[in-house]
Structure 1
């Protein structure tokens, strides 16, 4: 099992009041799975994603990532986990606007201390993997939305992370570009990449092998076939 969360609670303090966001959440993901997490605004899905991505800590509970107890790691150790074990794909791409596609993909490798020649080779391989080798010298302003997201996916995958976290990866794209990005995720998953994706779009969620629903900080699971029947 690559990801194992048990009895996760997350509270925020607001004007001396304790506001519960996540309530006894459990989530287990096997290596090679493709999981979609759906929920309305304010349901806690972004908070859950931040905890999975080691960007936030729960109030209580346990979290093991690749058999490591991440909740007892110090901040510097968590940074290494994020760098080496987790790839992030965001709705709005978060690319450096003045850098080329190749240099954007190189960024995690710089932090990892990879030498320039090797990291450029690795970054070019990642761009080839997402079908953008011919756009390596283009800056984000010269790319379409779908191409920007492909660059972001290449950047997320360049370090060969254990898990890919995608937060509304098609949210800023038109339907055609969104469909192409979902085909890319499908291809990556078939190659063995573990994917956990947040989405509000049922048609996007149906591309995953397993759909979870989070409502008012609590998580439930419905199989893909059941989801289709309910939505028919």
Structure 2
């Protein structure tokens, strides 16, 4: 099991009063699963994503990542897990504008201490996988929105993480570019990548195997997405 969240609660202090945001979240994600967490603005989905991505800590409850209790990890250990075991894809890409596409993708390997020749080779391989091998020396400002997101996905996957965590990955894209990104996610999932995707769009969530909904900080078990239906059809 990649993710195991047990009774997760999160509150923020507003003055002297705690304001609860997440209420007793129970969530398990198996290796190779493709999960969509769907919810409207203000539902708590971004807070949940930050906890899953080790960018924030829960107020109470237990979080096990890849079988390891995150409460027992030092800040340095958490940083290493974030860098090497979790790949992040954000709505607004978060690319460095002055760095080339190749340098952006290689960045997590630089932080991990990988030697220059190897990290550039691995970055080139990932860019080829997302269909951007002809754009490696471009700057992000020279790319379309869909191309920027494919660069972001290549960067997220270059460390071969245990989990791909995507926050509204099509939110800044037109419909066609969004579909291309979803096709790329489907390809990665078919290769065994574990994906957790945060979205407020039902048509995007349906690309996943399983859908859960968060409302007012509480998680509701949902239904199955199109990929579950397709796989059941293939098996029959």
- Measure, in 2, the Cα distance between the counterparts of 1:48 and 1:2: 16
2:64 corresponds to = 64
| Shift of residue 214, structure 1, vs aligned partner | 0.3
Show the counterpart of 2:171: 171
- Contact 2:95/2:152, CA 8 A, preserved across alignment: yes
Once the two structures are TM-superposed, the CA of residue 224 in structure 1 deviates from its matched residue by 2.4
- Large movers: runs of 4+ above 2 Å: none
Q: Aligned partners of 1:9, 1:20: CA distance in 2, in Å?
A: 8
Give ranges in structure 2 of 5+ residues lacking alignment: 227-236
Q: CA RMSD in A?
A: 1.0
Separation of aligned partners in 1, 2:71 and 2:42 = 24
Give me the whole-angstrom Cα distance separating, in 1, the residues matched to 2:23 and 2:139. Answer: 43
Three-state SS of the structure 2 residue aligned to 1:107 is helix
Deviations 1:141-172 (A, max 9, x none): 11000000000000000000000000000000
Query: Residue 9 of structure 1 aligns with which residue?
Result: 9
1:71 to partner: Cα distance: 2.0
Q: Distance in 2 between matches of 1:213 and 1:71?
A: 26
SS of match in other structure, 1:176: helix
CA distance in structure 2 between the aligned counterparts of 1:71 and 1:46, rounded to whole angstroms: 20
* Contact 2:126–2:154 under 8 Å retained in 1: yes
Q: Is this contact kept in 1: 2:199–2:205, CA < 8 A?
A: yes
Partner residue in 1 for 2:53 = 53
The match for 2:216 is: 216
Distance in 1, matches of 2:17 and 2:222, equals 33
Conserved 8 A contact 2:38-2:214: yes
Q: Which residue of 2 aligns with 1:229?
A: none
Give TM-score, length-normalised by structure 2: 0.94
Counterpart in 2 of 1:22? 22
Q: Give me the TM-score of the superposition, normalised by structure 1.
A: 0.96
Shift of 1:225: 6.7
Kindly indicate whether the alpha-carbon contact (under 8 Å) linking 2:38 and 2:199 is maintained by their aligned counterparts in 1: yes
Gap regions ≥5 residues in structure 1: 227-232
Q: Which whole-Å CA distance do the structure 1 matches of 2:171 and 2:218 have between them?
A: 23
Separation in 1, partners of 2:220, 2:159: 32
Q: Deviations over 1:89-144 (max 9, x none)?
A: 00000000011100000100000000110000000001011111111011011100
Question: In structure 2, how many angstroms separate the alpha carbons of the residues matched to 1:65 and 1:155?
Answer: 21
Q: Distance in 2 between matches of 1:24 and 1:65?
A: 18
